[in-house]
Every structure is written in structure tokens, then in C-alpha cells.
Amino acid sequence: MKRVNRGVTKRTYILNFALCAMLCATAATAAGQSETLARIGWLASGSPTGVAPLSGAFRRGLRELGYIEGKDITIEYRYAEGKLDRLPELAAEIVHLKVDVIVVANDQAIRALQQATATIPIVMVADDPLGLGFVASLAHPGGNSTGLSFMSTDLAGKRLELLKETIPKISRVAVLRASGPAQEQQVKEIQMAVPPLGMQAQFVQIQNQNDFENGFTTITKNRPGALLVLRTSLFRTYAGRIKDFAAKSQLPTMYDDRVFVEAGGLMSYGTNTLDVYKRAATYVDKILKGTKPADLPVQQPMKFEFVVNLKTAQQIGLTLPPNVLARADRVIR
């Protein structure tokens, strides 16, 4: 008869039990993490490379609030790659994922997302959320959307003043504009600002990407002393085309965003875009902790910056006055 070593059997049983307990604990921990892992949606009209600085600023804001990707949160990214007709499809796709909150910029992307869901909280980064009808009011947004606005009064007038200081003899400025309530407000500000500065504004309207070439031709024929580009998601999407035209025409150009200047534009004055995207993380944090979007007022810009590109100025043969350089928050050399 075969003799059984009871000591070995007992040790094997204990080891198997311990291993089973450890596996069960690990599985329970993983299950607990998957249940508490918050899912954030990110819908962008541009490409991953193009919006990388913006998404990076947003993630930095989350990290400063204590969130760790893969542990506390996961982010589902969707990019239209400049193909704006894809936005409704991507909006529906990200809603289908049943994320906890969605971060979105670009007017068309916001509209597509609002049409796709009336329940999932939306944190938008918008030009003029009230004027475009995205919220009922800035103080009490209502519905499932809130966020941050780039708009502030008299920014367009301030940009004109800086252009005048840069080019004192300037008398005519071309203004590249799109359509919509936010654009109309900026146009009114410019119309009020140019007479005291001894300037005339020539507005060139761009409705879509097919209008750029005709618009550029009109600007060239009018021979303005400078170009002012108004803030709109359309112009940010096609920033490269505008910048290339300005460089080819050796036309001093004022933008609303430092991104243009970092890419080779001459100067910009406006909202600190990276700061806005970083602050979007605070809205996501509050929503994940239970605050309803309708109870979070839309936040207005808090920081403005003046950025100039000295290298670009040299390339177009423009000498920037010392007082203008002294006022710049950042000089790219």
C-alpha cells in the first residue's frame, strides 16, 4: 500500500489556499479600480499633433488636481483631423462609449456634441458660448453644458492699438473675419476703435475653407498696411494657410493666439489658451465629484498676453519699436 506524506499534502493545501486568496484579492482590487476609474471624452476638430499643446495643458491641470491616468481616470480621444463633416459621427461615437464627462472645443464640434447627447456633462472651450446659443446664460448655463469662454470685451480694439504702435504710419488694416454673433461683436468693436486711431478697416469675410483664396486676392488688391485676424475656430483650423499668405505677402499680421506666433506669425494679443485648457480640468473635477454642469457658471478669460516673433519681423523687413518689445510678455527670437 502506498504511503501518503500528510505533511507535504498539508503544505500544498496551505500554499494553494494562499495563492488563491492572493489572486482573488488582486481581482477584487482590479475590479474596484475599474468601477471607480472615471472616463473622460475628448473631442477635437484638429489632429493629435495640432492640439497636443492643448491636451497637454488639460492633462497637466488634471495631474495638479491629483488625477493619474490609468489609475483614477482614462481619456478617450477622438480627432476630426480637420474634416469637420466627421464631427457628428465622432460625437455619436464618443457618446456611445458612455463616458462620465466630455471636453470639447470648436463651435461645430460643440454643436455636434450637444445634438448627440442631452445627458452626458459637456465641458466646452468656446469663443462665444452665449452668443452661439450653447448656454442659456453665462451665470446659469442650464442643460448639460458649461465651460470656459475666450471672449472678452474690446480685445479687438486692443489689438488695433498694438498694431498702430508697431506701425505708426499705418492707415488701412485688412480684417479677416468669419460669420456668427461672436464675429459681429468683434466687428463692432473694430468699427468703434479705428476712427480715433486714424485708421480704416477693410473687412474680408471667409465663410468656409473654399473662400480663402478669393479672400487673400481681395486683401492683396487693397494693399493694406497690416492684417488683423479675428478669433474663430475656422481660422485656427486653417492657421497654416493664413500664416503662409501673410509671410508670402510680407504683411504684418496680428492674431488672437500665441499658437500662430509660435508657428511663425508676427504677433498676437489675447487669452492665454493653454491656461484656459488647464482650467478646464477644474470643471471636469467638479463634475466628477457630483456638481451639475447647469450649476457651474461659464468662466470668462482671466489672463491675456502679448507675444511677438522677432525673427518673423526681420524676415518681412519690419523693425519693432523698443516700446512694443518692452510691452511683450514673450519675445520669440
Domain CATH for 328 = 3.40.50.2300
Higher-confidence position of 123 and 31: 123
**Binning pLDDT at 50, 70 and 90, where does residue 33 land?**
very low
The grid coordinates of residue 177 equal 473675419
**Binning pLDDT at 50, 70 and 90, where does residue 10 land?**
low
Same domain, 185 and 119: no
Cell numbers 468656446: residue: 126
**Binning pLDDT at 50, 70 and 90, where does residue 36 land?**
confident
Same domain, 266 and 291: no
Same domain, 219 and 145: no
Of 64-68, 235-239, 325-329, minimum mean pLDDT range: 235-239
Same domain, 139 and 63: yes
Q: Does the pLDDT value for residue 222 go beyond 80? A: yes
Same domain, 218 and 290: no
Burial class of residue 275 in the structure, from the number of CB atoms within 10 Å of its CB (0-12 exposed, 13-18 middle, 19+ buried): middle
The grid coordinates of residue 195 equal 476712427
The per-residue pLDDT for 32 is 44
Please compute the mean of the pLDDT values over residues 10-15 and round it to a whole number.
52
Same domain, 83 and 230: no
Same domain, 311 and 277: no
- Per-residue pLDDT of 180-210, as tens digits, reads 777 888 898 899 999 999 999 999 999 888 9
The per-residue pLDDT for 13 is 53
% the chain with pLDDT above 70: 89
Same domain, 199 and 134: no
Same domain, 92 and 161: no
Tell whether 30 is covered by a domain.
no
Beta bridge partners of 41: 76, 102
% the chain with pLDDT above 90: 65
How far apart, in Å, are the Cα atoms of 118 and each of 95, 102, 322? 10, 12, 52
- Per-residue pLDDT of 264-274, as tens digits, reads 999 999 988 88
Tell whether 66 is covered by a domain.
yes
Domain limits at 48? Answer: 36-151+273-295
Tell whether 14 is covered by a domain.
no
Beta bridge partners of 239: none
What integer best gives the mean pLDDT of the chain?
Answer: 88
Beta bridge partners of 79: 44
